[in-house]
Chains A and B, each alone.
Chain A
Amino acid sequence: MDQEKKLDYDKLLAKRVRDLKPSGIRRFFDLAATMDDVISLGVGEPDFSTPWAIRKEAIDVLEKKKIVYTANAGMVQLRESIAKYLERSISTKYDPEHEIVVTVGGSEAIDIAIRAVVDPGDEVLVVEPAFVCYAPIVEMACGVAVPIATQAKNKFKLTAEELRAKITDKTKLLVLPYPNNPTGAIMTREDLEAIAEVLRGTDILVLSDEIYCEMTYGGRRHCSIAQIEGMRERTILVNGFSKSYAMTGWRLGYVCAPAPLITQIVKIHQYIIMSSPTVSQYAAIVALEECEEEVARMIREYDLRRRYLVEAFNRIGMTCFEPEGAFYVFPSIQCTGMTSEEFCERLLEEERVAVVPGDAFGASGEGFVRVSYAYSLKHLMTAVERITHFLERHKGAQA
């Protein structure tokens, strides 16, 4: 202990790590954890169990196989299954041998993709609101994260104008996270065409985070920017098994990109990870090959909840555009006159309901809250009832 006092850890720690902002809502989550009877709408992972066929495969593998390292880029059979899946779902071909690497969740995929392309000083455009990891990872790579704020009036889609306005000669990469966490926004083929129009002829790469690709509603299938003419060659596609197959704890994702990029991305992966979890890789093959029906069943259930919440929030005055993807709704809290953080804290204290302040996902999320519907309808209904009471007391308070 005495020795510890002599060391000035601040001096010893890397500056760019010290400079990383701590997760802004940690305090809020910790507060929620101390209370009883909290109805949480806060988590970002499916409430379903991993389909049985996948779990059974893992059990069998544990019983019968040696659990050893796989090839650095992942088991060949899994990469082949991924390639087949992508051809089925987004009509895009990736060579399993040279263009796919299996990672520890979508998170590692994002990390190694960004590290592979960002040089110090490079600018990375990050569409916001978005999942919280992009900017810190860019900063760790000594790049500069440049937020592009999307607008509620555009249903939080990225527009060509918004993109064009942020491009400089230092722009290296665009992070395009759709279907979007936290807004539930999607980009249709037409929306993506407009983005592609801006990017064609530039040297800008796209990191397309499509982890929620199976979760689109209203009969519309997910469209990847890699499908748009001239885009595959500049797209680094990130996906994974956590959301689509309810496999968050299995920690498995993947990156697909043209071979010259993947060759370099695999280098990072092999030094920091060696190979992704072997049991999970076996199980993931079953997920891709045998679980289409299970996925469809989960999506139908999410869709019912989504429609229930959109209708309910609009009815009680928290206006909410209809999100067409992921499993979040992103209602406005303008009618209360509170900030997102104030709203969330008071809702938690007064009604014991936890939702996530929108500004945790970037400044443009201020005035909104993220509500997850990865919960049973019964649970959602209790929450809506409590939120209704809260609004009855606080609506129009600013007037």
Chain B
Amino acid sequence: MTDLLALLKENARLTNAQLAGMLGKTEDEVAKEIAALEKQGVIRGYTAIINDELADPNEVEALIELRVTPKRDCGFDDIAKTIMLYDEVESVSLMSGKYDLALTVKGRSLREVAMFVSQRLSAMEGVLATATSFVLKRYKDKNILIADEEKDERSMVW
């Protein structure tokens, strides 16, 4: 990963001027590079990392493992793309190992998520089995500590 991407990944709100300073480039060069990365689809978007526990204490999140039957011509793509269409589904990944697709799903209650799984996902053609695990607490997300602040244990001694 380039330094520019690493910096944006850590903090997407850095201004082009700040990025230029850190990278030893001009503001204009940075702006062009970012525009190119966006155009190429390398950068897909910018988002905030939120501590959901504080922002919306009632929201629940679940990790769902899905075993599915791949289709003859398009493998897992077809079913993954169908699942993607639901707003409740935050992420979909094809996995190696004991199951095929990993989903993260958000809802307003345990019941809502459970209903989504049983009524929507399980009923879907090709879905063989589901396993739902609810997230109880998030400690770290996208390399940022969520649960608590990192303490600086160093003292001022030169």
Contacts and interface: CB of A to CB of B under 8 A. Distances in A.
Interface of A: 29, 32-33, 40, 42-45, 47, 131-132, 181, 300, 304-305, 307-308, 310-312, 354, 356, 377-378, 381
Interface size class of B (residues with CB under 8 A): 10 to 19
A308 B22 contact: yes
Interface stretch (B3-11, B78-86, B88-96): B3-11
Contacts of B155: 33, 43
A182 to B, nearest CB: 9
Contacts of A40: 152, 156
12 contacts: A33-B156, A40-B156, A43-B157, A43-B158, A132-B158, A300-B3, A305-B22, A307-B23, A311-B21, A311-B22, A312-B21, A377-B22
B59 to A, nearest CB: 26
A354 B11 CA distance: 25
Nearest to A309: B21
A187 B13 CA distance: 37
Contact of B154 (A43, A132, A308, A378): A43
Given A40-B152, A43-B155, 4 more contacts: A300-B3, A308-B21, A377-B10, A378-B11
B143 to A, nearest CB: 12
B24 A307 contact: yes
A310 B10 CA distance: 21
Contacts of A29: 156-157
B21 A307 contact: yes
B156 A377 contact: no
Contacts of A311: 20-22
Contacts of A300: 3
A271 B18 CA distance: 53
B141 to A, nearest CB: 16
